[in-house]
């Protein structure tokens, strides 16, 4: 990736007809007078001009002028991402070379690409950008300065650049002027890869080259590919170079400095449960855990909005204002009010916004060591307790298992919840063998004396299609009680199949809900489902047995035949 050079200052005067209140609102941010926008010529040998580090208001305006977005009643920008409304894990590749060859856990998740294929893909994408205007953003990943990565992102879409502004760590003007970035990302959704030439599976691809320090995203405009591409980079670099545990989790802290961490795949409740008005949000999805504590990798939040309700999730609802960007959300008849219950485009409707949109968020992005760690699972079988306390050995086992259900729309082709196992609650983004992350987690849990909890945000009273989804208010009550220490001394029930210790009472939660078997009308059906799920755990864990320690195996369930 070649450097940017040749600053060209250009005064641009935007005159808009102020036909409605939203246009007036926008102009309050942009201004109805001439202003300078710094434009840069990009020495890619083909790209003539790049809009460099435009402020959010200018990116919104650029999107509207191109007819690629709509303003909502609260001033948020709404866009459509086209064919792809979720990540495409089968089209993610990592270059196999001397740096990654014996370190990456190669397989269906981490698929290899040859270095020369990546080089050709890069060359062809650059040629494709000839004559196009692109948007460049200088940003960073990681609030911890000692392990932070500077990144330069080049996007075809102004709104994709707004996403980067929202989600990555925003850096100072002085840092922007330094002509150096650790990593580069090129995102060209209008480019179609050639599988025969580029070594891809299809026309869309997300490819990572750790030697070139570059990510190429082609054929897909779904912004989650940008975010998760850099998360994958951090998941390789942090443990290898800095001895920091990367985590697919959200986190918050109270006024006393007690930190809580919430692991879980998309749709299990990380963002929702960490957005607590009584606590301060550190981050909602990606963190590192180092010698001094937990730090956020990002500068914003990327929340699901399907069925978003102002009463149940007030912080997220209020965060969707000017500067926020909605993806694939439909509108009510007035054309400006989002209809969050409409999943006709996708169930994976999303919003990105800077973390500063959350009142009281920890802007510095880091805090101390966790006091409580929660594993969130969306149990489609309806047999896991709504909350249970884990021993360290059980924690490593369930961390490796990463049981949950894929929630509709999060990935291409998923239209209803499906039982799945995703190591480390984030296998699609973990380049190294999962047991390496599990060992790091176990060491930190033991060093810090952390309480560990497994929380089922999925089904109760039966599996998917029979039972009902766990009430968010009950889940919040259980998590709150756990963090306040109110579950430390209560009587525990031990599950015969999974060996989980769940409280028999919890303030604000019906006692019969705490023991899953009590919620089923058909006891025989419950035991049959529990046995089936236990068998799936055992089958899934077989691939880790050779690399696992004896401690990791202690959390395995028993099968009742």
Residue 542 vs residue 179, higher pLDDT: 542
Supply 288's token pair: 């590192």
pLDDT tops 70 at residue 85: yes
pLDDT tops 60 at residue 160: yes
**String of DSSP letters for 100-111:** TTTTS-BTTTBE
Query: What are the Cα distances from residue 37, in Å, to 7, 11, 48, 530?
Result: 11, 7, 16, 61
Rounded Cα gap, residues 97 and 89, in angstroms: 21
Q: What residues pair up with 262 in beta bridges, in sequence order?
A: 250, 374
Residue 398 appears among annotated catalytic residues: no
Least confident of 40-49, 397-406, 450-459: 40-49
Catalytic residue among 51, 157, 170, 270: 270
Mean pLDDT of 276-303: 95
Catalytic residue among 87, 92, 128, 152: 87
Catalytic residue among 248, 389, 444, 451: 248
Catalytic residue among 70, 251, 271, 346: 271
In 142-204, beta strands by DSSP E: 149-155, 183-188
Mean pLDDT of 529-557: 87
Residue 285 appears among annotated catalytic residues: yes
**Which regions of the chain carry the CATH code 3.90.228.20?**
245-297+363-553
Supply 380's token pair: 């489609």
Q: What residues pair up with 389 in beta bridges, in sequence order?
A: 453, 501
Residue 270 appears among annotated catalytic residues: yes
DSSP state of 506: B
Residue 124 appears among annotated catalytic residues: no
pLDDT tops 80 at residue 307: yes
DSSP state of 44: S
Rounded Cα gap, residues 434 and 245, in angstroms: 12
**Homologous superfamily of the 1-68+90-242 domain (CATH):** Phosphoenolpyruvate Carboxykinase, domain 1 (3.40.449.10)
Q: Are 124 and 39 within 8 A, CB to CB?
A: no
Mean pLDDT of 10-31: 34
pLDDT tops 70 at residue 422: yes
- The confidence band for 375, taking pLDDT boundaries of 50, 70 and 90, is very high
Residue 162 makes CB contacts below 8 A (sequence gap 6+) with 56, 59, 60, 63, 77, 325, 352
Place of tokens 């850096």: 171
> Whole-number mean pLDDT of the chain?
88
**pTM (2 decimals)?**
0.88
End-to-end Cα spacing for the chain: 59
Q: Are 416 and 464 within 8 A, CB to CB?
A: yes
pLDDT tops 90 at residue 410: no
- Tell me, which fold does domain 245-297+363-553 have in CATH? Phosphoenolpyruvate Carboxykinase; domain 3 (3.90.228)
Q: Are 257 and 281 within 8 A, CB to CB?
A: no
**Which regions of the chain carry the CATH code 3.40.449.10?**
1-68+90-242
Q: Is 89 exposed, middle or buried (0-12, 13-18, 19+ CB in 10 A)?
A: middle
pLDDT tops 60 at residue 10: no
pLDDT tops 70 at residue 23: no
The three-class DSSP label of residue 528 is: helix
- The confidence band for 130, taking pLDDT boundaries of 50, 70 and 90, is confident
Residue 250 appears among annotated catalytic residues: no
Mean pLDDT of 164-187: 87
Q: What is the pLDDT of residues 475-505, one digit of tens each?
A: 999 999 999 999 999 999 999 999 999 999 9
Three-state SS string over 115-130 comes to HHHHHHHHHHHHHHCC
Count Cβ atoms below 10 Å from residue 92 Cβ, excluding itself.
Answer: 23
Catalytic residue among 266, 305, 346, 502: 266
Catalytic residue among 198, 287, 350, 369: 350
Q: What is the pLDDT of residues 26-78, one digit of tens each?
A: 444 443 332 232 333 334 446 667 899 999 999 999 999 999 999 999 999 99
Residue 266 appears among annotated catalytic residues: yes
Residue 19 confidence (pLDDT): 28
Residue 85 appears among annotated catalytic residues: no
Residue 33 confidence (pLDDT): 30
C-alpha dihedral sign at 81, 82, 88, 91: negative
Query: What are the Cα distances from residue 259, in Å, to 118, 169, 548?
Result: 41, 21, 29
Residue 25 vs residue 542, higher pLDDT: 542
**String of DSSP letters for 453-506:** EEEE-SEESSSTTTSEEPPHHHHHHHHHHHHTTTTSSS-EEE-TTT--EEES-B
Q: What is the pLDDT of residues 292-303, one digit of tens each?
A: 999 999 999 999
Rounded Cα gap, residues 280 and 262, in angstroms: 14
Residue 401 confidence (pLDDT): 94
Residue 11 confidence (pLDDT): 25
DSSP β-ladder status, 183-188 and 214-218: parallel
Residue 406 phi, psi (nearest 5): -65, 125
- The confidence band for 175, taking pLDDT boundaries of 50, 70 and 90, is confident
Rounded Cα gap, residues 10 and 515, in angstroms: 66
Residue 548 confidence (pLDDT): 79
Catalytic residue among 152, 170, 228, 406: 228
Catalytic residue among 91, 276, 284, 285: 285
Q: Are 271 and 285 within 8 A, CB to CB?
A: yes
Residue 306 vs residue 40, higher pLDDT: 306
């Amino acid at each position: 990736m070649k450097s940017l050079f040749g600053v060209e200052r250009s005064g641009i005067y935007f005159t808009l007809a102020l036909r409605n209140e939203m246009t007036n609102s926008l102009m309050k941010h942009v201004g109805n007078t001439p202003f300078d926008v710094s434009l840069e010529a990009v020495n890619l040998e083909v790209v003539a001009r790049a809009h460099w580090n435009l402020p959010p208001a200018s990116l919104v305006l650029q999107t509207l002028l191109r007819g690629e977005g709509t303003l909502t009643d609260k001033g948020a920008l709404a866009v459509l991402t086209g064919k792809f409304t979720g990540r495409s894990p089968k089209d993610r590749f990592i270059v196999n070379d001397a740096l990654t060859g014996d370190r990456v856990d190669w397989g269906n998740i981490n698929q290899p690409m040859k270095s020369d294929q990546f080089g050709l893909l890069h060359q062809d994408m650059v040629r494709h950008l000839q004559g196009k205007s692109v948007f460049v953003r200088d940003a960073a990943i990681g609030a911890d300065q000692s392990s932070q990565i500077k990144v330069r992102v080049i996007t075809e879409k102004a709104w994709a650049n707004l996403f980067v502004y929202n989600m990555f760590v925003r850096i100072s003007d002085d840092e922007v002027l330094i002509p150096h970035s650790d990593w580069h990302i090129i995102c060209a959704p209008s480019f179609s890869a050639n599988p025969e030439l580029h070594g891809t599976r299809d026309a869309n691809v997300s490819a990572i080259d750790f030697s070139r320090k570059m990510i190429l995203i082609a054929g897909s405009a779904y912004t989650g590919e940008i975010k998760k591409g850099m998360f994958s980079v951090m998941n390789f670099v942090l443990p290898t170079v800095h001895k920091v545990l990367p985590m697919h989790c959200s986190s918050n802290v109270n006024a006393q400095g007690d930190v809580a961490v919430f692991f879980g795949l998309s749709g299990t409740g990380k963002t929702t449960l960490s957005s607590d008005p009584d606590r301060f949000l550190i981050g909602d999805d990606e963190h590192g855990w180092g010698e001094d504590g937990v730090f956020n990798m990002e500068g914003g939040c990327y929340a699901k909005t399907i069925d978003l309700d102002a009463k149940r999730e007030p912080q997220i609802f209020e965060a969707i204002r000017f500067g926020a960007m909605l993806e694939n959300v439909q509108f009510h008849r007035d054309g400006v009010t989002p209809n969050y219950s409409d999943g006709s485009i996708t169930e994976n409707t999303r919003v990105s916004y800077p973390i500063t949109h959350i009142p009281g968020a920890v802007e510095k992005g880091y805090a101390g060591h966790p006091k409580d760690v929660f594993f969130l699972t969306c149990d489609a079988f309806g047999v896991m307790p709504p909350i249970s306390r884990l021993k360290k050995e059980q924690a490593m086992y369930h961390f490796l298992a990463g049981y949950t259900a894929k929630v509709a729309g999060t990935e291409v082709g998923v239209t209803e919840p499906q039982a799945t196992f995703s190591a480390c609650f984030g296998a699609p983004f973990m380049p190294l063998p999962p047991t390496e992350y599990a060992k790091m987690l176990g060491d930190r849990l033991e060093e810090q004396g952390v309480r560990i909890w497994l929380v089922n945000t999925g089904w109760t009273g039966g599996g998917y299609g029979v039972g009902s989804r766990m009430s968010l208010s009950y889940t919040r009550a259980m998590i709150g009680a756990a963090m306040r220490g109110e579950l430390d001394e209560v009587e525990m029930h031990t599950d015969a199949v999974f060996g989980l210790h769940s409280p028999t009472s919890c303030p604000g939660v019906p006692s019969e809900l705490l023991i899953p078997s009590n919620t089923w009308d058909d006891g025989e059906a419950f035991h049959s489902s529990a046995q089936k799920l236990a068998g799936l755990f055992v089958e899934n864990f077989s691939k880790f047995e050779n690399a696992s320690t004896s401690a990791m195996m202690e959390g395995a369930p028993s099968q009742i035949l």
